[in-house]
């Protein structure tokens, strides 16, 4: 007699099935409607395939199109449908991997030629045919030897490599139509369960991210459960293209990157440097107001420093080769932390000296593979808005609350309205006393709660050296960006033997918190461009106003206006070119200039100005002093 197992459903109801029955069998027992709608299952909280046999009692949930996990299941299946279509067009194709990703999927292929935009359209047509065929996804279990034999005979070396790395375990494949893939699943019931998709692009991708391995072609796609969601997403992608900081950076003459000089190294043009200056000036002023001291440290340091910090053990692949000076090896710094610690250790510290809040706009250099470099978002040389807080255990909670409030004020100043916190707690392997971890986590938790922030807890997701809060902001088109980090560190204080003399006259270990508000100036600048679509807030605009006399007889009046505005610290330019006023206005609007001051006969006679806003609105008959007084030309506080 077969053994019976019990499955507990989300509503608390218990159903019984014979051991070996599948998730699909369970869905059918619950009801035919659910069986038809089922996409996957969830056993004891883990998403699993409908065809997986159940061998013991468990909690069971059936995933349908309404479940949060449905998108990943559908997109993973869509990647397989795309791979089948590619196989039909390229029978000798070799396959890499094809996972679901946020809002979409991709698959890596080695093909006989490079794919074109026209090929993507043909692949889409083949996918549509595959969807109409409603081919069932068939799960099969193989031994390692059987799997190696199959994928060797079908000339799939990338799959063979993956199988060889697996232990002696049962291996699963999924087949639909004429395509079989090495895969754990889960997958939908058949190819007809996923319909609304679009292939987006092709990019090069090294096999397993290794530049020494073969270059494959990665085809990206997106898929949603409805036409409406797909259209909304494609519209957002189109808007994102318009806001691309690389495109706008060139059009607005903000910065450039010269491959012949060095990939991932940024050249700041005058307008970009002006915006950066305003950002950094505001950043410095606010740090002084919030009790920080600014410091500056060298760009290179001797080898022993990086050995002590652990970077040469754990971070060497991202560091550049050393240079020899006077017989000693020096490394360009990838981080500022060890230098700040050396300042701390330059003298004995007392509890009366703490807390210390030290901040630096420190330029660092890290090696990034050429394939991941991306405009300002991923570079090899960047300026970190670094700060370190060194304090006593009694001070730590207030310090964390203050730095979180400071962070939120900064993001409000740059006009980011939606901020979410992510709290990462102690992992299984960690350094530092458990009591210090508990204190640190509780201080982070209380700070988030005090500010009323939405918070997601990443249990066990902290670094081995301490818990952290990450803040993510949403931009104008709903994309989330990782920005601020507030990171405890129980590792470096130990490695560098940081101490202070307590009120009891004994040495104690201080708490140390790494804190970056903007992350890096370069990446933040890219996010800022895309958030504002290049139209910077008035206080950040490289040119805040352009004065435009309509004819030559208005030039003297225009020069007086420009002189008056510049004396008040306004970034103002005169455009007295012998071009039509409409052309000059359009040019200023394309450069995202906030205000255009148009001066003709009436303005000169009345001693007033006409102001055209970059959105096309006109303000007429305004006194210059009134206009200047009403605008926030400079951000002074938060």
Q: Are 494 and 460 in contact (CB under 8 A)?
A: no
Residue 171 burial (10 A CB sphere; 0-12, 13-18, 19+)? buried
Alpha helix (H) ranges present in 134-185? 144-153, 157-164
Task: Select which of 337, 445, 470, 591 is catalytic.
Answer: 337
Give the residue among 478, 586, 476, 485 at the shortest CA–CA distance from 529.
476
Is 352 designated active site? Answer: no
Catalytic site residue 374?
Answer: no
* Residue 243 DSSP SS3: helix
Taking each continuous run of H as one helix and of E as one strand, the counts in the chain are: 20, 33
| Integer Cα distance of 328 and 315 in angstroms | 20
Q: Name every residue whose Cβ is closer than 8 Å to that of residue 116 and which is 6 or more positions away in sequence.
A: none
Q: What is the DSSP string of 351-396?
A: GGG--EEEEEEEEEE----GGG-BTTTB-SEEEEEEEEEEE-TTTH
Q: How far apart are CA 146 and CA 167, in angstroms?
A: 14
Alpha helices (H) in 210-310, listed in sequence order: 227-243, 245-251, 270-289, 303-309
- Structure token digits, residue 225: 């459960």
- CA 489 to the chain's CA centroid: 23
Q: Which tokens belong to 477?
A: 């088109």
Is residue 468 among the annotated active site residues? Answer: yes
Give the Cα separation of 559 and 437 in Å (integer).
63
Instruction: Say which of 514, 554, 571, 612 is annotated catalytic.
Output: 514
Q: How far apart are CA 565 and CA 577, in angstroms?
A: 20
C-alpha to C-alpha distance for 5 and 29, rounded to whole angstroms = 13
Question: What distance in Å separates the CA atoms of residue 61 and residue 9, rounded to the nearest whole number?
Answer: 6
Task: For residue 184, indicate whether it is catalytic.
Answer: no
DSSP string, 13-28: -EEEEETT-BHHHHHH
Is residue 197 within 8 A of residue 127, CB to CB? The reply is yes
Torsion angles phi and psi, residue 410, rounded to 5: -60, -45
d(CA 181, CA 510): 54
H or E element in which residue 525 lies: helix 521-531
Which of the residues 218, 243, 276, 366 is marked catalytic? 366
Say which of 49, 119, 385, 386 is annotated catalytic: 386
Angle of helix 157-164 relative to helix 144-153, nearest 10 degrees?
160
CA distance 547 to 593: 11
State the DSSP H helix or E strand holding residue 77, giving kind and residue range, or none if neither.
Answer: helix 70-89
Residue 146 has which token pair? 């059987």
Which of 384, 487, 544, 591 is catalytic? The answer is: 384
Q: What is the 3-state secondary structure (H, E, C) of 119-147?
A: HHHHHHHHHHHHHHHCCECEEEEECHHHH
Alpha-carbon span 535 to 541, nearest angstrom: 8
Q: Which letter does DSSP use for residue 168 in this model?
A: S
Tell me if 624 sits within 8 A of 603, measured CB to CB. no
Catalytic option among 80, 139, 176, 468: 468
Question: Which one of the listed residues 176, 245, 388, 554 is annotated catalytic?
Answer: 388
Give yes or no: 384 in active site. yes
Separation between Cα atoms, residue 223 and residue 79, nearest integer Å: 10
Q: What is the DSSP letter of 493?
A: H
Catalytic machinery residues: 337, 366, 384, 386, 388, 468, 514
């Amino acid at each position: 007699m077969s053994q019976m197992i019990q499955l507990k459903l989300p509503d608390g109801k218990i159903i019984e099935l014979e051991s070996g029955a599948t998730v699909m069998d369970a869905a059918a027992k619950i009801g035919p409607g659910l069986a038809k709608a089922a996409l996957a299952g969830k056993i004891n909280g883990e998403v699993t395939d409908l065809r997986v046999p159940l061998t013991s009692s468990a909690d069971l949930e059936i995933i349908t199109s309404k479940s949060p996990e449905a998108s990943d299941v559908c997109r993973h299946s869509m990647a397989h449908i795309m791979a089948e279509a590619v196989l039909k067009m390229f029978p000798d194709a070799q396959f890499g991997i094809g996972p679901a990703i946020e809002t979409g999927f991709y698959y890596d292929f080695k093909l006989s030629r490079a794919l074109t935009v026209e090929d993507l359209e043909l692949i889409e047509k083949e996918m549509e045919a595959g969807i109409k065929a409603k081919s069932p996804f068939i799960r099969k279990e193989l031994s390692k030897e059987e799997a190696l034999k199959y994928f060797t005979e079908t000339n799939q070396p990338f799959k063979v490599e993956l199988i060889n790395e697996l232990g002696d375990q049962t291996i699963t494949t999924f087949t639909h139509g004429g395509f079989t893939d090495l895969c754990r699943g889960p997958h939908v019931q058949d190819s007809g369960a996923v319909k609304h998709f679009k292939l987006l692009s092709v990019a090069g991708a090294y096999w397993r991210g290794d530049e020494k391995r073969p270059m494959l072609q990665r085809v990206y796609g997106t898929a949603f459960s409805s036409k409406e969601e797909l259209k909304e997403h494609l519209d957002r992608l189109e808007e994102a293209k318009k806001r691309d900081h690389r495109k706008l950076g060139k059009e607005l003459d903000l910065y450039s990157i010269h491959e012949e000089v060095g990939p991932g190294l940024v050249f700041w043009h005058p307008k970009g440097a002006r915006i950066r200056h305003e950002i950094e000036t505001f950043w410095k002023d606010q740090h002084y107001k919030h009790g920080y001291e600014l410091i500056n440290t060298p760009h290179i340091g001797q080898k022993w420093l990086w050995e002590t910090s652990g970077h040469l053990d754990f971070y060497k692949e991202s560091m550049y080769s050393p240079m020899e000076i006077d017989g000693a090896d020096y490394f360009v710094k990838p981080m500022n932390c060890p230098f700040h610690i050396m300042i701390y250790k330059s003298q004995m510290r007392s509890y009366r000296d703490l807390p210390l809040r030290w901040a630096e706009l420190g330029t660092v250099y890290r090696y990034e593979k050429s394939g991941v470099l991306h405009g300002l978002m991923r570079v090899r040389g960047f300026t970190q808005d670094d700060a370190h807080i060194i304090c006593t255990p009694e001070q730590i909670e207030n310090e964390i609350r203050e730095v979180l409030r400071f962070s939120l004020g900064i993001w409000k100043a740059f006009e980011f309205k939606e901020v979410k916190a992510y709290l990462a707690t102690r992992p299984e392997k960690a350094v530092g006393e458990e009591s210090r971890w508990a204190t640190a986590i509780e201080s982070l938790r209380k700070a988030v709660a005090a500010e009323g922030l939405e918070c997601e807890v990443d249990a066990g997701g902290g670094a081995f050296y301490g818990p952290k809060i990450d803040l993510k902001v949403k931009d104008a088109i709903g994309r989330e960006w990782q920005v601020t980090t507030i990171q405890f560190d129980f590792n470096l204080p130990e490695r560098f033997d940081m101490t202070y003399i307590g009120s009891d006259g004994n040495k104690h270990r201080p708490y140390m918190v790494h804190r970056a508000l903007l992350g890096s100036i370069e990446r933040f600048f890219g996010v800022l461009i895309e958030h504002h679509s290049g139209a910077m807030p008035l206080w950040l605009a490289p040119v805040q106003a352009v004065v435009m006399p309509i004819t030559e007889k208005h030039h003297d009046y225009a020069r007086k206006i420009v002189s008056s505005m510049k004396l008040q610290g306004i970034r103002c330019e005169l455009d007295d070119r012998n071009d039509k006023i409409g052309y000059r206005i359009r040019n200023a609007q394309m450069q995202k200039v906030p205000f255009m001051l148009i001066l003709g006969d009436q303005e000169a006679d009345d001693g007033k100005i006409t102001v055209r806003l970059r959105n096309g609105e006109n303000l007429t008959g305004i006194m210059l002093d009134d206009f200047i007084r009403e605008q926030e030309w400079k951000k002074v506080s938060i």
